[in-house]
C-alpha cells in the first residue's frame, strides 16, 4: 500500500466582498527560544502548551493573493530558498491555484525581511520572478535597507540576511517596477497601506475595504499568535525597535478588534484567517472554520 508523504497543496480560497482572497502557504520555519525578549524557555513552553502547540515555536509563513477590481495582487512573496526545505513553497502553491507569476500585476510588501520578500528575484540570474508586476512598499523600508550608513551599523548577519538580501531581491525592480507608498495611501482601489513600524522601520499592514466590510493583512504584527496576540507587549529579538513595535501592535490590535476586522496573518497557522476575540488583557485569534464552498 502506498501512503502519501506530503499534504495537499497549501491553497485556500475565501471571498471578501468583491475580492477573491487566496491564502498560499510558503511553508514554515522552526524557531528557537531566543526569539523572545521577555520570556524564559519555561514561559514559552507553558504558553505554547496551553494551545497544544510545538515548542520552541514553529512559525507558519503565508502569502495572500487577491483577485478583484484591483487586478491580480500578491501580498508578500515568501522566502524562496532562504529558509531550507520546510519553506519556499509559494510558487508550487501558486501553480496549484492555477495562477502564473506573469499574471500578477502588483506585489505588495509588508516589509523587506527575507520570509516576506525573497520570492521577488532569482538571485543567480537577477531575473524578476514576477515579470509584469510593480512592487509596492513603504518608502521607509527602501530608505533603510538601501542605506549604506544603516548597513555599516549592522552586524554581519544583518548585513547579509536583511540588507544584502533586500537589495538582491528588490534591486531589479527599482528602475521601473517599484512604487513607494506612505502611511494612509490607497495603493490600489480598496487597498490602503497602514503603517505599523517597529518590527522594521517601514513595517506595514494592508487594509482592504469591500462592500462595507474591512479586512486587514497584517504582516509581522504577530510572529507567534499564541504569545504575541495574547501578550501584545511582547516583542521579538529581531525587531528593529522593539518598544515601538509593541506600542503599535497594541494600538492596531485594539483597532482590529473594535472594528471587527477579518484578519489575514502571515504567521497565523495556515490558512491564516480569523477574527480577534478579547481574552483577559490581550486577545486570541478565532480562526475561521474551513468551508468547501468558496463564498
pLDDT of residue 57: 86
Show the cell assigned to 293: 464552498
Closest CA to 211 of 75, 68, 16, 69: 16
Q: How do the pLDDT tens digits run along the chain, 295 residues long?
A: 889 888 889 999 999 999 999 999 999 998 888 788 777 788 888 888 888 888 888 899 999 999 999 999 999 999 999 999 999 999 999 999 999 999 999 999 999 999 999 999 999 999 999 999 999 999 999 999 999 999 999 999 999 999 999 999 999 999 999 999 999 999 999 999 999 999 999 999 999 999 999 999 999 999 998 889 999 998 888 899 999 999 999 999 999 999 999 999 999 999 999 999 999 989 999 999 888 889 8
Strands (E), 39-171: 58-68, 71-75, 106-108, 121-122, 127-128, 134-138
CATH class of 11-287: alpha beta
The four Cα atoms 163, 165, 171, 172 give a dihedral, to 10 degrees, of 180
Q: Would you list the DSSP string of 145-185?
A: HT-HHHHHHS-HHHIIIIIIHHHHHHGGGTTTSEEEE-TT-
CA–CA distance, 223 with 109 (Å, rounded to integer): 16
pLDDT of residue 38: 76
- Centre a 10 Å sphere on the Cβ of residue 173 and count the other Cβ atoms it contains: 19
CA–CA distance, 178 with 273 (Å, rounded to integer): 28
C-alpha angle 146-158-267 in degrees, rounded to nearest 5: 95
Task: With beta carbons less than 8 A apart as the criterion, state whether 225 and 265 touch.
Answer: yes
**What residues does 230 pair with on adjacent strands?**
none
pLDDT of residue 252: 98
Amino acid at each position: 500500500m502506498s501512503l502519501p508523504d506530503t499534504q495537499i497543496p497549501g491553497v485556500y480560497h475565501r471571498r471578501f466582498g468583491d475580492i477573491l482572497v487566496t491564502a498560499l502557504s510558503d511553508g514554515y520555519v522552526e524557531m528557537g527560544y531566543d526569539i523572545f525578549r521577555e520570556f524564559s524557555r519555561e514561559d514559552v513552553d507553558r504558553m505554547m502548551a496551553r494551545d497544544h502547540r510545538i515548542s520552541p515555536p514553529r512559525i507558519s509563513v503565508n502569502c495572500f493573493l487577491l483577485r478583484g477590481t484591483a487586478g491580480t495582487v500578491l501580498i508578500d512573496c515568501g522566502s524562496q530558498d532562504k529558509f531550507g526545505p520546510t519553506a519556499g513553497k509559494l510558487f508550487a502553491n501558486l501553480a496549484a491555484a492555477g495562477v502564473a507569476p506573469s499574471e500578477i500585476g502588483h506585489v505588495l510588501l509588508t516589509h523587506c525581511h527575507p520570509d516576506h520578500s525573497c520570492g521577488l528575484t532569482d538571485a543567480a540570474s537577477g531575473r524578476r520572478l514576477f515579470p509584469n508586476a510593480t512592487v509596492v512598499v513603504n518608502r521607509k523600508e527602501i530608505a533603510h535597507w538601501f542605506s549604506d550608513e544603516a548597513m555599516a551599523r549592522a552586524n554581519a548577519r544583518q548585513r547579509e540576511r536583511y540588507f544584502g538580501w533586500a537589495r538582491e531581491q528588490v534591486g531589479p525592480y527599482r528602475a521601473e517596477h517599484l512604487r513607494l507608498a506612505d502611511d494612509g495611501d490607497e495603493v490600489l482601489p480598496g487597498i490602503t497601506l497602514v503603517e505599523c513600524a517597529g518590527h522594521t522601520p517601514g513595517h506595514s499592514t494592508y487594509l482592504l475595504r469591500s462592500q462595507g466590510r474591512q479586512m486587514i493583512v497584517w504582516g509581522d504584527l504577530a510572529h507567534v499568535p499564541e504569545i504575541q496576540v495574547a501578550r501584545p507587549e511582547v516583542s521579538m529579538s529581531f525587531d528593529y525597535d522593539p518598544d515601538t513595535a509593541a506600542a503599535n501592535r497594541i494600538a492596531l490590535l485594539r483597532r482590529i478588534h473594535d472594528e471587527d476586522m477579518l484578519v489575514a496573518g502571515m504567521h497565523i497557522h495556515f490558512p491564516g484567517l480569523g477574527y480577534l476575540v478579547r481574552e483577559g488583557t490581550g486577545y486570541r485569534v478565532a480562526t475561521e472554520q474551513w468551508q468547501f464552498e468558496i463564498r
